[in-house]
Chain A
Amino acid sequence: MTTPTVELTGIVKSYRRTPALRDTTFVAHPGITGLLGPNGAGKTTLLRIAATVLAPDQGVVRLLGLNPHSDEVRGEIRRQLGYLPQDVGIHRFFTAFEFVDYIAILKEMVHRRSRHQEVHRVLGLVGLDDVARKRVYALSGGMRRRLALAQALLGDPQLLVLDEPTSGLDPEQRLRFRDLISRLGEGRTVLLSSHNSDDLAALCGHIAVLHSGHIVFAGPPAELIATAEGRVWQSTQRAPGALLAWRTGDGLYRNVGDPPPDATFVPPQLEDAYLLLVRQDSLSAVGGP
């Protein structure tokens, strides 16, 4: 097993009286690790801690083998970190090039020529090199998201923290993102959150499911999918005992939950396992079955 790039141990974080993370322990190794969870589960808080922009109330943080307790160490970590926040504002009147160039300076790339080469490189990686001179306000939402990703890639960082990188992208752009992120995951640590289980299933070697401020599952996607084995079945009618059921394109119902004895099982997918896991955790939290 390789040395963990991200180690969060016993993390507690609250916003005033609202707990966001409760005694959460999380580890990410080189490769792509996905964070899955419903809204308000604490994904963004966890990623912000991993990106050193937020300090936990309690717990130990180790990033790239360092504890970000002082400005110097935080600076050292940030030199090897690329971060894409969930809601990133981009200066509207900058050109795409100027915006990435500005962030490149903040990443201590002070030599103009090599900095400009690097800016062109990352714009090329996200397919924006030909709109480098366009002002940000003239770019589409998807282009802005790619521009935000471009700045995270500056300097070839060892740790990439991406909070919902595919939100707001059309299907083609999402697939391009997948391609790019899978290439980025070779040789560095990529930590990404998404509501889209397809993206995570396609990309991640390791998945953590966060629910109500704690990790309820951590492991390979196949292991998570296996937890739903024998709990997904098809029927001609909506099954009364199903937690969730929906009609698919072939006219049959796909049911997730506790199956009847004569059920026709189908192979579960990541989202089935995720639904079951989150539902089970909610029930156990209120003392249900």
Chain B
Amino acid sequence: MTAVAAALGLVQARHLARHPWVLVGVGLAVLVMQYGLRGPEGNGLAALTQAVPFYLGPAAFFAANLAASRDRRAGTSELVTASPTTSRRRASGALLAVGGPVLLALGLVGAAGAAHWISGAGGPPRATVADVASGPLVVCGGGLLGVATAYWAPFRTAPILVMAGLVLWCQAGRMEWQLLTPYVEVPAADAGARVPGSMAWHDLYLGCLALLAATAALLATPGPRRWLLIAGVVLAAGAALAGWRQLP
């Protein structure tokens, strides 16, 4: 990572955190979380684990896609090409910018988690750190996938098609397949409901998928590929292992 990519990431992270898609996602997540955490009849676990990935995850995906494709859409590509910053560094900046929505997600689950753990809001069962970590990880993965989509499929309908694919995957028939998706719905009315399997392995699985998306985005840019390909293979193996270990 270079200083340019870091500076680019910092500035773009601020833009991304204020992006209308992200703000809408945050607003909806806050509404659902406070509803789930209110009173003993709420489902704190579901509120903490589902609101952020369900609302902020897709929002981060679309916002990061729009941000990463902004030069192309605005017609600034030629100008940007004449700068000393390579396409790979620009992609690195776009990937680092996903930190903006991730920080928002961490803030949300941190605040809601504190209310849940300290005051017992939302009632039992208590969510673990592994439970609440899955939300920010989905937001991170969504953002990074949005950037990868912008680089690999530079056309307007691509993010919609990718999101449609993700939705279909999450609705896949067999439970084993559903458990391998980034988002699994737990009945909100069922206060004791918990996604079966290991959340810690699920988090590792999500982390590997997110980094795979980042690697894919970098691979779409000109430059040395060897280490990226090696990283991709390692991450794919990690995702396969963690995906298998997370199953009940």
Q: A71-B86, A101-B11, A110-B4 are in contact. Are A85 and B74 (CB under 8 A)?
A: no
Contacting residues of chain A (84-111) with chain B, CB-CB under 8 angstroms: 85, 87-92, 98, 101-103, 105-108, 110
B6 neighbours in A (Cβ, 8 Å): 110
B93 neighbours in A (Cβ, 8 Å): 105
B76 neighbours in A (Cβ, 8 Å): 88-91
A74 to B82, CA, bound (A): 9
Q: Are A53 and B78 in contact (CB under 8 A)?
A: yes
Q: B108 to nearest A CB, angstroms?
A: 25
A85 to B70, CA, bound (A): 17
Q: A110-B4, A110-B7 are in contact. Are A75 and B74 (CB under 8 A)?
A: no
Q: Are B4 and A106 in contact (CB under 8 A)?
A: yes
Q: Are B8 and A106 in contact (CB under 8 A)?
A: yes
Q: B7 to nearest A CB, angstroms?
A: 4
Chain B interface size, as a band, is: 20 to 34
Q: B52 to nearest A CB, angstroms?
A: 26
Q: B11 to nearest A CB, angstroms?
A: 6
Partner of B11, one of A52, A76, A102, A148: A102
A105 neighbours in B (Cβ, 8 Å): 4, 7-8, 11, 85, 93
Q: Are A81 and B82 in contact (CB under 8 A)?
A: yes
A81 to B15, CA, bound (A): 27
Q: Are B84 and A78 in contact (CB under 8 A)?
A: yes
What residue in chain A is nearest B82 (Cβ atoms)? A83
Using CB atoms and an 8 Å cutoff, list the residues of chain B in contact with chain A: 3-4, 6-8, 11, 15, 70, 74-76, 78-86, 90, 93
Using CB atoms and an 8 Å cutoff, list the residues of chain A in contact with chain B: 48, 51-53, 71, 74-76, 78-79, 81, 83, 85, 87-92, 98, 101-103, 105-108, 110, 112, 148, 151
Closest 5 CB pairs of A and B: A89-B75, A106-B83, A89-B74, A83-B82, A78-B84
